[in-house]
Chains A and B, each alone.
Chain A
Amino acid sequence: MATTKVPEVRDIARIERIGAHSHIRGLGLDDALEPRQVSQGMVGQLASRRAAGVILEMIKDGHIAGRAVLIAGQPGTGKTAIAMGIAQSLGPDTPFTALAGSEIFSLEMSKTEALSQAFRKAIGVRIKEETEIIEGEVVEIQIDRPATGTGAKVGKLTLKTTEMETIYDLGNKMIDCLSKEKVQAGDVITIDKATGKISKLGRSFTRARDYDAMGAQTQFVQCPEGELQKRKEVVHTVSLHEIDVINSRTQGFLALFSGDTGEIKSEVREQINAKVCEWREEGKAEIIPGVLFIDEVHMLDMECFSFLNRALESDLSPVLIMATNRGITRIRGTNYQSPHGIPIDLLDRLLIIATSPYTEKETRQILKIRCEEEDVELSEEAHTVLTRIGMETSLRYAIQLISTAGLVCRKRKGTEVQVEDVKRVYSLFLDEARSSQYMKEYQDSFLFNETQTAQMDTS
């Protein structure tokens, strides 16, 4: 016998993981696109935020597509924060896809396939659905069955809204539909005018007292307002990738090919492109170029870069935002040196936004915002010490210390993180500089030690 499975409720302490950029709510610009010093979780980086704001406005108005932006700067200067800020202020209407440069390397899919899927996820198509429906509360259904048992049934259906009431004559088919849906007096129903499909929305509130015993599924709704015969318009936004997926399966409307390889045939894409362009010509669809954000873009190799070059030129192309922390370095997979590890021909097409290191005051403010986000109370002195740590080591390291110091403080049942707590975690966890110092001192005792190793090659 099949028994219903009751989900097990386990009592565990809820641990909330807080992402590194969870405090970003937008770009922190005013109406004139002037950046405010501290706003929406953003601190400093005024010039780059303003530049991002200009691009954002152009994206929102749909003025640019097929452009690419590069956010370049040292580690820990807020590149990802700016991209997150753009994503947050775009609103729900514009598609935003984010991926890390290394995500495209997979065994399931070729690099270019992963990239083109990401591209197509970032393009939205807005379409409208319009239906004529009759919507009302059933006042009465009257069905006359012929005495012989065979032959056509006739009937009458009385529907009402808050404004009007009318009688419909029913044919055989409608009567069958109504009895199949078990429609009775007091139900609120809609009838699709084109297809004659009947759907029950629920029972009217005025009939709530008719029965005491009823199923839990019975929903009560208000008697509809206004006219009986309504026009219903719904606007949907779907991404090109979603249309691709539906049509690359067997039963799609345009489906020609089957197979679930995870890769989508370029023929399918071309067909979809043609269909969408046709819709656009006919005024049936609007194309919303969204934003594709590729973090750590130096992880891409030569093939990907030439694919990007090509993809940016197609007429269905989103705005590409990339971020990198590399200076002049080798392009992955080649022996050529290039700024940011990006080939010159692609760099030529980019708008480059630079971020600069934070000042002491800005670091202090960021740490304060993070403390609020992570729910850690910080005393004034501890805040100053942490800011010094942030300036001397790195901002990320200082941010890491917030939550760990918070834990130490909670352990000694304190309410506010004091300098001692910060000192304790500072001695417990090494920052990058101290760690390498330690390595240098004790390198002989480590395994597989090679004294003359060159710097790690990541390209």
Chain B
Amino acid sequence: MDAESLRVLEHLTEVEEAAEDVLTTKQQIVDLDLKRNRNREALNALKTEMSNTENVKVCFGNIFIRFPNVKTREMIQRDQEQLDKEINDLRTGLRAKVNHLNEIQGKPELRGYNLSPLSSDELKSVNRLLKR
């Protein structure tokens, strides 16, 4: 292959890699959200269907361990916070990745997405303007 086609190939590889990166991050967010929803279901079940004194069986890897209800709840809650943080980080990173992909594809950059959002009060006041 001559230098020109090598260069094209290299560029295409770069684009493909960036695109793959975006897709992976998206899938990761989906997976984490799935876990977050399962945790939420578990928390609800622990709250409504069991008394606080009962022990519950918790699955760790491939073994079940009996654990006090209150302790389990705390554990899941902590997990939940961790998940929230992780999803937020991924979403922030996703924006940079999409911008990078656009850049190497020669598409214009998405403008304005790096702004911080308006608060709900402010939004309410400009809403009539936006919902024209």
A127 within 8 A of B: yes
Could you say which interface size class chain A belongs to? 35 or more
Complex interface: stretch among B11-19, B26-34, B65-73: B26-34
A-B contact count (CB 8 A): 91
Beyond A129-B118, A166-B41, A253-B122, is A235–B112 a contact (Cβ under 8 Å)? yes
How far is B123's CA from A194's CA once the two chains are assembled, in angstroms?
A: 13
- Could you say which of B91, B118, B128 contacts A284, with CB atoms under 8 Å apart? B118
* Chain A positions within 8 Å of B29 at CB level: 226-227
Beta-carbon contact of A235 and B129 below 8 Å: no
A108-159 with Cβ < 8 A to chain B: 126-130
Q: A226-B26, A238-B130, A243-B126 are in contact. Are A166 and B115 (CB under 8 A)?
A: no
A229 touches B116 (CB 8 A): no
Q: Is B48 an interface residue (CB 8 A)?
A: yes
Is B117 a contact of A169 with CB atoms below 8 Å? Answer: no
CB contacts (< 8 Å) of A130 on chain B: these are 117
A246 touches B128 (CB 8 A): yes
Q: A282 interface residue, CB < 8 Å from B? A: yes
| Most A Cβ at <10 Å: residue of B26, B48, B125 | B125
Chain B at the A interface: SS class: helix
With most chain B CB atoms within 10 A of its CB, the pick from A129, A130, A195 is: A129
Q: Is A128 within 8 A of B38, CB to CB? A: no
Q: Which residues of B contact A279 (CB under 8 A)?
A: 118, 122
Q: Is B52 an interface residue (CB 8 A)?
A: no
A283 touching B33 in the complex, CB below 8 Å, given contacts A238-B129, A246-B129, A253-B122: no
Residues of B within 8 A of A243 (CB): 126, 129
Say yes or no for B40: interface residue by CB 8 A criterion: yes
The 30 listed contacts between A and B (C-beta, < 8 Å) are A126-B115, A127-B118, A128-B115, A129-B118, A129-B130, A163-B34, A164-B37, A166-B40, A167-B41, A226-B29, A227-B29, A227-B30, A227-B32, A227-B34, A228-B37, A229-B33, A235-B113, A236-B126, A236-B129, A236-B130, A237-B112, A246-B129, A247-B125, A252-B125, A253-B121, A253-B122, A253-B124, A284-B116, A286-B111, A286-B112
Q: A128-B117, A231-B91 are in contact. List 13 more A-B contacts (CB 8 A).
A: A127-B118, A127-B126, A128-B115, A128-B116, A130-B117, A163-B30, A167-B44, A195-B120, A243-B126, A247-B125, A282-B116, A284-B115, A286-B112
Nearest first, the 8 closest Cβ-Cβ pairs linking A and B are: A253-B125, A130-B117, A227-B33, A235-B112, A166-B37, A128-B115, A126-B112, A164-B34
